[in-house]
Structure 1
Amino acid sequence: MSINSAVRVLSCLLIGFLLTRPVGKKCLAQEEPGESPDSTQLAFNKKIKEAGSDSIKIMHTCYEFGVQLDENEEYERSIELFQTALRIAKNINDHKEAAKIANYLANQYAIIGNFSASNKAYLTALENAKETEDAGQIAKISMNLATNYNFTGDYDKAIQYGLYALKTKETANNPERICYHYVTLGNIFKETNNINKWEEYVLKAYKMKDVANCASFSDIAKIYNSLGGIAEQRNEFDKALSYYDTLHVLSTEHHFDQGISTALTNSADIYRQLNNIPKALELATEAEKYFGGNPYDEIFNNNFKSGLYQLTGEYSKALKLAEENIRKEEIEYYSTEKLKCLELLYELNVALHRYPEAFAWNDSLRVTENKLRDQEVRKSIEELETKYETEKKEQQIELLTTENELKNQRLRAGIVLLAVLLVVIVMILYILQIRRKQARLAQNDLQQKVLRSQMNPHFIFNVLGSIQNYIMGNDTKKAANYLAQFASLTRSTLEYSASESISLSDEIKMLANYMELEKMRKPGKFNFEIITSEELEADFIRIPPMMIQPFVENAIKHGLKNTEAKGLIQLSFHEKGNTLHIGITDNGVGINKAKELKDDGHRSMAMQIFDERCKLFFKKTKQHITKTITDISEETPEQQGTRIQIIIPVDTKL
């Protein structure tokens, strides 16, 4: 089928479809007596009929009415017309129109929160714009794509396309709306907490804002908003409020609702920091009048107001807003706001004593936080920005020396050799980076295993249950003491599990705390003793954290489990030369009997983790940690129990 034939078929189908296209809640094909059909719809149908089989006219008509529908905020209908126009532009290989239409289509997808489709449309627009070699269009589309990636937290791609857009503008010496590009790139650095780079690009925009064609009004509004944000970051609140007031006045004069809502919201945040919560709530509520259905504004404002209610102790109101936010599908596209929402959900559930929900939201928070705050992403952004500056300088040099380079064969050979060397160096660095990353993953995995082995759910909930019993028994003093001990143990476990080493005194304190909690759970079951030699300088000896606790737990859980006599656990610490000798002794049934009676695999898991950590210790220090486990009955038949001896090399470099 020829293109003209295809267009005629498409034209007929389009007219037939749109004649029955729903408008609001009613359909044109089902009008009620006395009602008038959509005038825009009728005008469109008339133009399509007039176009006949002229593909170019059909394309322009679809685009023209798509813009009208966008202005009427009928985004889904406008998307359908833009899609039709784009298909025609592609069929007739009109790259200029395809770039323009795809760029507008991408913007429509972004408005409704479909950033995946928006990115795809922007890439189509960029591909066609490159065919036209229109530097202004290429730069605009590339920066729009960078803005999308910035919204969704993909800062690596955001900086890549942002720098490409700016480079295209500067290379072509095209200053049209250059301020938009400077401000947008600055905002990407803002998201990575690089305040100096943010300010650098915003000040470039500020200097150019009054130059003809360098800025639209929306660009000027963004400049004042960014200046206010920078001042706020530096705690210059009066200065920040002045910038936001300027933004509010200018936006009101130009009937720019987005600027008004932004000025109000940001001013509200200043008053929050000044602890004027009523004023902050007043401004945040007023800002809602100017949102215009933008999902990002609604999500941001819900988070903000939720935080304000949290400060005033109105936790239920705050939680309602946070839960409303997390249910919004669009929140997946706004990474920073999703992170804030998860933090609120965790903190508010803790405040309302809804601990299972708090634990669940905390897990989601950590997963999202690790993904968004990865240090390698920030490093990559800095490297890309440096690469851009380097390439710009190299380009200036190349423009001055092009003729000489073409005549100088030796220089070209040297460049080729240098390129080869650079490739080799990059490959070596890449391999080293992969190895370091694998080592970090192994370390993180081991830390997680250690953490899980120390703070297993049974222990946590048993301790909480015991504390609850004291509370119900009106023994608030004991409940408070044990709650403080449990909080201290939890904090120590979380802190030490991520450390390579801790002082021996800290390890002993944590062990004592742990055994006190176990005594609370099993009153009258056992006592414990901690013996240290007088010459031992526990504050200056550093050892790998939490290596002893699994053995103590085994002694309580397995060694003392099946004995009728009151248990006793003894821990001893003394130094011999450059080694620390640690003894763990219990008067339980003994390791041999415990193996026969064991009912789970906790012991083997603890031993496995201990062995893995010993291997890691050897890789770092080239020294061995040794352990010896003895059933006391084998040495003294009339006694029973288990003795564990651990020898750790003392090294100040741990």
Structure 2
Amino acid sequence: MQSKSGLMFLLCIQLFSCRNGVEKESAVQKIGGDIDLAGTDSVIVEQLIKRSIELYGQGGLHVDISDDYLAEAMDIARKNESLNQLARIYNLLGQRYRNRAQYGEAMKNHQKALDLATKTEDKRLLGQVYNQLGVVYRRIDDNPTALEMHTKALNLAKETGDSLLIGASINSIGNVNYNLNRYVTSIEYFKRALNLSNLMNNKLGLAINHNNMGEALLKLGQVDSALNHFFASLEYNYQIGSKVGQSICFNSIGGAYLQQGRPFKALEYLEKALHLNEELGDLMQVAISHTKIGQTYLQMGDFPLAEKHLKLGLEVAKEIGSLFQIEETSQLLSELFEKRGEYAKALEYFKMSAAYSDSIINEKNINHLATQEAIFESERQRKRIEELNKQTLQQKAALDRQRFILTLGLIIVAAISFAIIMLVRQSQLRHRYKNVRHQQRLLRSQMNPHFIFNALSAIQVYILEHDIEKSSRFLTDFARLMRQVLQSSAHDYISLKEEAEILGYYLELQRLRFSEAFEYSLDIDSSLDVESIMVPPMLTQPFIENAIEHGIRPSGTDGFISVKFFREGDKMIVEVGDNGIGIDASKKASEKGKNHESMAIKITRERLDMLTRDSGRRTDLVILDKKQINPFDRGTLVRITLPVVEMTNFNKKQDKTFYKRIIESV
């Protein structure tokens, strides 16, 4: 047996020396005697993850979140592009950061895991990541988002038949209901999760759900039943050797004995919990332990020790941002100082507690107060108007003649002024529409000079390189695009089919120009008849150009541009999306780039305004950084809303008189 282990050890050293040029003993070498070298790197990564979990399970602040085993597992998974294993590693890191109340780091790692799991299309893994994200949101008291994450996890678990994840998701949904004070509903979810754990003999699940059941029952005043569940949970935690679970049970049992009025018994378990929590570094549980110990000493009448532990609990709760814990601890401090006769401090902590527990009520009160103030101001103005009306009536008899003359004069002046204003306004409108139409024609009839210059340069390069196929293809597409642009520039509307052809040629040329540095999709919903639906020409081209020049090129990675045309009722939606650096980062580009982009957007908005006036239907242009939709996404999304113009008998010659009729009607 010893000889076999030594051989495995040497083989592992040789394997990783060839791969990484090892100069010092690695984590793989440390476990070389236990790895089956007949397997692949994937098996080695699994062994490393397993050893990391075992090491971290020993607990304590002295255990690094990312140990040597996990670091080397991540390195091997990256080199082999094992996305599934990388996602699991990031999900594990997020869980560890969460347990130490480092929620920002936890969220970053879970999001990396989410991105990788999405790419792998592994629904089971995706469900696990969603469930862990939900726990983070629940810890920071964002219960609606937490419920959304856990529901997604549950649906994926049911789809894949993952019983463990089903149980975990149901338990998590029960916890969200518990946070929302829906204790009866939470018990129903905990019972379902408990039954699943029993069927699978999942001792960890049994430990967790027994404790959760006890907490919910304790809130409902059923202390004896709660204690039964707490001790059942503690027994399962002993069996699986979970120190974290044991500390949670100690806290729960102590709280139950405290509610029974048995403070000495409660203190026995609460001090065990505090010792374990400080060893494990779980700040949430540390805060809970200090608060409950302080509450116990308060019940026993030992005010100095009660104050010490409650303040420690409040300090940790503020550090991790637990609103519920802050509210509970500050309420107990208020009670403590009230019993000591220090009413100023009691009032201070009472206000702190009220600020967290009654925030919604306070907001309603503020709104109600604002409403009452507005009503009072309106009433004051009404009384003032009545007084002015009385004064006016008193002077009415003496001013009737003068008012009549003045009114008549004002009417004449107003009529003349109105006529002059209307004439000037109509002239300005004609001039403005003429300018806008000229700008639109100019925009439609010409491409960005930089694009034309670079396109011709690219053709020249292909010719000089004797790449006949690419130069011929590039030149053909370039000629077709120029022909389409020139043909469409004479019209205010072209068919959706023609617009799609122009965009297709343009995107293909851009791909050839940049050596196919990006991919694209051009999708038209089947509900849109490309032959009869008419659209303003070249409306989306400036945004595609911006996506390439200001989004994808600066990103330095492979890009993707999505162009979609689809119908929503009597409206047509055009969406241009990319995975570039995003509009916020793009605003930091050169002034020249900004001016070009802003001019294109300005002219597009004016075209949409004219289209609104012409059709009598709403148009819209929205440009969003994708981070505003999803904080973990990147790129820019342009959404253009147009009326659906179906011109079965449309004659392009008619569009030349379209604006003329509108202007004359104005």
TM-score (norm 2): 0.47
TM-score (norm 1): 0.48
Larger-gyration structure (1/2): 2
